[in-house]
Structure 1
Amino acid sequence: MTDYAIGDIQGCYLRLLEVLERVDFSPSRDRLWVAGDLINRGPSSLDTLRYLSGLGDSAVVVLGNHDLHLLAVALGGHQVRKKDTFSDILEAPDHDELIAWLRQQNLCIHDPERNLVMAHAGIPHIWSIDQGVACAREVEAVIRGPEATEYFSHMYGNEPARWDDNLAGMDRWRIITNYFTRMRFIAEDGTLELATKESADHAPGGFAPWFQFARRDTARVVFGHWAALEGQTGNDQFVGLDTGCVWGGALTIMNLDTGEKIHCDC
């Protein structure tokens, strides 16, 4: 069995099939780790979501901001935005099943044997791996439970901008969500700067890319989300897999054990 991790697919279904063919991926023997943003912006969100959900235990998935946005439209009363391309999911006859499957996915996955953690945007240096996983489990329980409508109704927002152990309710859920799915630039004290989306060398004053802060552990962090990095972090501990497929870049898949990366031009 081979475990592969793949960056932001964002509904680019044909490119997904192409890159899986290049590594001879077989669901009967291999697993696919998906670093979030399965859907949206690309042309085939429905086909992508159906394929990934159909992989069963052969798919290991974390939620990205675009995946949460679909859930916020489906469950939280938010409107489809002009650039969204997931109306095919909302109108599909298996819509309820697909939404239910998406709600069961994680915000963060820890593989102790590989000393590896995967989250869509990463994990902030202010948290240990154990603390980060515990925070993820809190929000995952909300997404799967009876408070999901409240959560998705009030999920959007940039405040609070910094973690505090005493946070509760929606403020706590929102900052956890933003760390795992929206983080790019961060301050040493954990304050998020969520407006800037450019490359790592465009950090606002007082902030730096989250992966430039030393961690208290040696865990390898696999993430997506930040296409402007083009997969480059300058540190082997932090593996960026979003290489901008939906923006005309490439879709990247990586063997989790050897580190070998295969790219499919988009």
Structure 2
Amino acid sequence: MATYAIGDLQGCYAEFDALLSRLDFSPSRDRLWLAGDLVNRGPGSLACLRRVMALEGAVETVLGNHDLHLLAVARGHGKLKRNDTLAEILAVPDCDALMDWLCAQPLLVADSARNRVMTHAGLLPQWSLAEARELAAEAEAVLGGDAVDDFLAEMYGNRPARWSPALEGLDRLRSIVNVFTRMRFIDADGTLDFSAKEGLDSAPAGFAPWFTYPRRHPREADLTLLFGHWAALEGETPGARVRAEALDTGCVWGGSLTALDLDSGERIAEPSHQMRR
């Protein structure tokens, strides 16, 4: 039995299928951890969504910002952007069922026995793992409940940029979800910057990658943090002061789709097929 963590699929179905074949992946034997952003920008978003759903108990996936964007658009609280490749999903007769499945997916998955955790964008250094799990569960309850439309209608936005336990209502939920799905650069107080999306040299003054800050909880120093979201890192975490594994290697941008064997540490990459079309 092997467990593999794979970065953002973003609709790269051909590469996903080829990578699973290279891994000789068997859902009866092996397990997948997917770092979110199953859909958008690539040509096979619907196929990715259906394949992951079909894997059922063999896969753990977290929600990414593109997955949440799909939910918002499908439920009438957002608009398609020029480069979105979500129209095929929105047109299928079972779109509502697909969205119900997405709503039920978590923002965080953890393996306490092996001391590892996965979210789409990372883990705020100020949060303990216990706190992060509680906050994820808080947002997940809304996404999977009757108030989901209230949140999706107010989900877009960069404020508040800094988490505070005193936050309430939709501001609190937006802050939680932004940390889990959109975080890249932060300052020493945990304020998020949303303007810079490229490599490390694009950091605004006073900001640095979240993984370059030590965790505030020394007993969690050995925690391995698995994340996607940041293709410009190309799978590297220079200057990391935590155990962080970057999984997004930019398949949809012509890079590769990478699987990390969580037991051996080996990385297996399938080159992007995007430039072959």
TM-score, with structure 1 as normaliser: 0.98
Alpha-carbon separation, structure 2, partners of 1:242 and 1:86: 20
- Distance of aligned partners of 1:76 and 1:164 in 2 relative to their CA distance in 1, 3 Å threshold: farther
- State yes or no: 1:126 paired with 2:157: no
**RMSD of the TM alignment (CA)?**
1.0
* CA shift for structure 1 position 76: 4.4
Counterpart of 1:246 in structure 2 is 252
**CA displacement, residues 65-87 of structure 1 (integer Å, 9 cap, x when unaligned):** 00000001112421111111011
Instruction: Give the secondary structure class of the aligned counterpart of 1:81.
Output: coil
Counterpart of 2:6 in structure 1 is 6
* Aligned AA (1:29): R
* Aligned AA (1:21): S
Check the 8 A contact 1:35/1:223 in 2, yes or no. Answer: yes
Counterpart of 2:231 in structure 1 is 227
* Aligned AA (2:265): G
Counterpart of 2:48 in structure 1 is 48
Alpha-carbon separation, structure 2, partners of 1:260 and 1:170: 41
Instruction: Give the secondary structure class of the aligned counterpart of 2:16.
Output: helix
Within a 5 Å distance, the mapping from 1:35-114 to structure 2 comes to 35-114=35-114
Alpha-carbon separation, structure 2, partners of 1:250 and 1:60: 21
- State yes or no: 1:264 paired with 2:270: yes
Check the 8 A contact 1:163/1:175 in 2, yes or no. Answer: yes
Alpha-carbon separation, structure 2, partners of 1:203 and 1:137: 31
**CA displacement, residues 233-260 of structure 1 (integer Å, 9 cap, x when unaligned):** 0347100000000000010001111111
The percent identity for this pair of structures is: 53
Alpha-carbon separation, structure 2, partners of 1:69 and 1:77: 9
Alpha-carbon separation, structure 1, partners of 2:86 and 2:271: 23
Q: Which runs of 5+ in 1 are unaligned?
A: none
Alpha-carbon separation, structure 2, partners of 1:53 and 1:99: 11
Alpha-carbon separation, structure 1, partners of 2:198 and 2:74: 30
Counterpart of 2:275 in structure 1 is none
Check the 8 A contact 1:76/1:151 in 2, yes or no. Answer: no
Counterpart of 1:145 in structure 2 is 145
* Aligned AA (1:92): V
* CA shift for structure 1 position 30: 0.9
- State yes or no: 1:181 paired with 2:181: yes
- Distance of aligned partners of 1:160 and 1:227 in 2 relative to their CA distance in 1, 3 Å threshold: same
Instruction: Give the secondary structure class of the aligned counterpart of 1:238.
Output: strand
Counterpart of 1:115 in structure 2 is 115
* CA shift for structure 1 position 151: 0.4
**CA displacement, residues 135-184 of structure 1 (integer Å, 9 cap, x when unaligned):** 11000000000110010000000000101111011000001011000000
Alpha-carbon separation, structure 2, partners of 1:37 and 1:66: 5
Alpha-carbon separation, structure 1, partners of 2:150 and 2:3: 36
Check the 8 A contact 1:119/1:181 in 2, yes or no. Answer: yes
Counterpart of 2:193 in structure 1 is 193
Instruction: Give the secondary structure class of the aligned counterpart of 1:225.
Output: coil
Check the 8 A contact 1:34/1:60 in 2, yes or no. Answer: yes
* CA shift for structure 1 position 202: 2.3
* Aligned AA (1:213): Y
Counterpart of 2:18 in structure 1 is 18
Alpha-carbon separation, structure 2, partners of 1:77 and 1:186: 28
Alpha-carbon separation, structure 2, partners of 1:92 and 1:51: 15
Counterpart of 1:204 in structure 2 is 204
Check the 8 A contact 1:251/1:264 in 2, yes or no. Answer: yes
